[in-house]
Structure 1
Amino acid sequence: MADSKTVSVGGRIPGLDLAVPRMLRPSQFPSRLSFPAPAKPPLRFRVLAMAVKRSPKRLKYSAPRFTKEGGLVYVEADPSGEDIWKLDPIVELLKQGAVGVIPTDTVYAIVCDLKSPSAIERLRRIKHIEPSKAGSKFPLSILCRSLRDIDTYTTGFPRGDGQGHASIFRAVKHCLPGPYTFILTASKELPKRCMRYGTPTAKYAARKDVGVRIPDDAICREILEKLDAPLISTSVKGLKENEWLLDPVAIADAYGPEGLDFIVDGGVRVADPSTVVDMTRITPVVVRQGKVTELLQ
């Protein structure tokens, strides 16, 4: 391959009657594909992302695609979703059973293919979810593309009882996509591995409920759309401390050695988890107060 420093771009090679075509940047290639411009991320996300951009620790992950010892792929993506082409290799990894970290509209999440039993087992090991705790506090939830995904893997939202509860479903539609996790009764379509965990001799209760989300995050939604399937997820916390890990660089340092396959860096997040609402009964019950309370007002 000719050295780019010795060839004049757009000129001629000395001694040869051959014109050297001008190099085009990827952005100059014509494309028939167009994507709707997503809304800009909240200012606090952009400011915090810029604040850590030049930190020495972050510089080692500064390449668009970075492979660390052990095979950790690190991709930096614009929070607005302007460079969604960078997400293509992440989608391919997920299809192959990879376990990785992506941003959501709240905190970062460890995700994998919902239909891959081996990937789900690896996710549990990476997150250190013990069999005895797998059925408590709903550690795994589904990141969905739309209400159709929710209808597929759950029995759906309560439709009311004729006594003032008929507006629940309309309120849910108004709030989604958004920072909510709704606990619903799982359908037969949901793989058992998403609800049960343990050895054949271990004592564990089969969960009949599962948390579902439709995140309002450009990066997360693009990954789900490109994958054309929902993902199983669990929020990212410190391995020893029960605190959210909000900086993807800190996540790489903590979970890279645990066997994580990839991280999508969408900037530093704010410690605002989703609001968790149990909708397995006629009257919704708030399990965890999170980022917003609009549904309850």
Structure 2
Amino acid sequence: MAELLKIHPDNPQESKIQKVVEVLRNGGVIIYPTDTVYGIGCDFTNAKAVEKVCKIKGIDPKKMHLSFICYDLSDISLYAHRVSNHVFKVMKKALPGAFTFILDSSNKVPKVGGVKKKQVGIRVPDHKIPRMIVQELGNPIVTTSVYGKDGKTMTDPSLMKEEYEHQVDLIIDAGMGDIQASTVIRCIEDNIILLRQGLGDIEKFADVLSKEEAESLLVEEE
């Protein structure tokens, strides 16, 4: 049965962060807060734990769209292949923040279900808890949104415990989560394409976009 562990979102207790990291190092799966929705994740280098996350989500590991949380931009150079100067400038403006950047993966990204992922989603959330976890763990953690049986985003950690307490090993309670997921942007070579408008505001990095990119990304909603 999963433990519900309260951690202060602005001043996370180091002893509690270490407790979470111990669970991850032992191959555990956790539910944790981000700057958008709560996520389900594990140490992304632990193949069995990643497969467990896939099972919880009802996803075939071979078809999983792998996304994970890094501590900062220095980690991105390890797991992404050939990030151009232009894309790096965009990411530097946007992160930490509510964005997922889809990038070509490097050879340091582990296989999932025996399959090498050609592209990966990389996040550096503007939230102390997941970044502290990653920093202490020394590896990125897989991130995939927490949904209820009704298919809607879950925001209340106490309700997450009721639904997931027999599937995950630990649930962090850092207060209510958001209902809106991250903004997803694909960056292949120098091409920057909006795949999903979420909580991240593109205006945050609009000044480093080309005129053509700005026209294609900064589209007012009808």
TM-score (structure 1 length as normaliser): 0.65
Q: Which has the higher contact order (CA 8 A, sep 6+)?
A: 2
SS at match of 2:132: helix
Alignment partner of 1:179 is 2:88? no
1:107 deviates by 0.8
1:195 deviates by 8.0
In 1, Cα distance between equivalents of 2:41 and 2:202: 26
In 1, Cα distance between equivalents of 2:61 and 2:138: 30
Q: Which of these residues, 73, 76, 100, is aligned with residue 147 of structure 1?
A: 73
In 1, Cα distance between equivalents of 2:37 and 2:186: 20
The structure that is strand-richer by fraction is 2
Q: 1:150 to 1:82 in 2, by over 3 A?
A: closer
SS at match of 1:192: coil
Q: State whether residues 77 and 84 of structure 1, in contact with CA within 8 Å, keep that contact through their aligned partners in structure 2.
A: no
1:135-162 Cα deviation digits (max 9, x unpaired): 5xx3x30100122221111114333xxx
TM-score (structure 2 length as normaliser): 0.85
Q: State whether residues 252 and 263 of structure 1, in contact with CA within 8 Å, keep that contact through their aligned partners in structure 2.
A: yes
Q: State whether residues 103 and 264 of structure 1, in contact with CA within 8 Å, keep that contact through their aligned partners in structure 2.
A: yes
Q: Which of these residues, 27, 37, 40, is aligned with residue 97 of structure 1?
A: 27
Structure 1, unpaired ranges of 5+: 1-69, 160-165, 197-205
Moved beyond 4 Å, runs of 4+: none
Structure 2, unpaired ranges of 5+: 207-213, 215-222
> What is the aligned length?
205
Q: State whether residues 143 and 213 of structure 1, in contact with CA within 8 Å, keep that contact through their aligned partners in structure 2.
A: yes
Report the AA paired with residue 107 of structure 1: V
Share of identical aligned residues, percent?
35
Alignment partner of 1:241 is 2:160? no
Alignment partner of 1:232 is 2:142? yes
Q: State whether residues 141 and 213 of structure 1, in contact with CA within 8 Å, keep that contact through their aligned partners in structure 2.
A: yes
Q: Which of these residues, 161, 164, 189, is aligned with residue 252 of structure 1?
A: 161
In 2, Cα distance between equivalents of 1:195 and 1:177: 31
Q: 1:278 to 1:262 in 2, by over 3 A?
A: same
Q: State whether residues 185 and 195 of structure 2, in contact with CA within 8 Å, keep that contact through their aligned partners in structure 1.
A: yes
The structure that is helix-richer by fraction is 2
1:281 deviates by 4.2
In 2, Cα distance between equivalents of 1:228 and 1:117: 16
Matches within 5 A, 1:96-175: 96-130=26-60, 134-135=63-64, 138=65, 140-159=66-85, 166=86, 168-175=87-94
Equivalence for 1:19: none
In 2, Cα distance between equivalents of 1:144 and 1:85: 21
Equivalence for 1:88: 18
Report the AA paired with residue 91 of structure 2: V
SS at match of 1:279: strand
SS at match of 2:42: strand
Equivalence for 2:210: none
Q: 1:176 to 1:213 in 2, by over 3 A?
A: same
SS at match of 1:78: coil
Greater gyration radius: 1
Report the AA paired with residue 152 of structure 2: E
Q: State whether residues 39 and 146 of structure 2, in contact with CA within 8 Å, keep that contact through their aligned partners in structure 1.
A: yes
In 2, Cα distance between equivalents of 1:81 and 1:195: 39
Alignment partner of 1:193 is 2:107? no
Equivalence for 1:270: 178
1:82 deviates by 4.3
Cα RMSD for the two superposed structures: 1.9
Q: State whether residues 106 and 179 of structure 1, in contact with CA within 8 Å, keep that contact through their aligned partners in structure 2.
A: yes
Q: State whether residues 157 and 175 of structure 2, in contact with CA within 8 Å, keep that contact through their aligned partners in structure 1.
A: yes
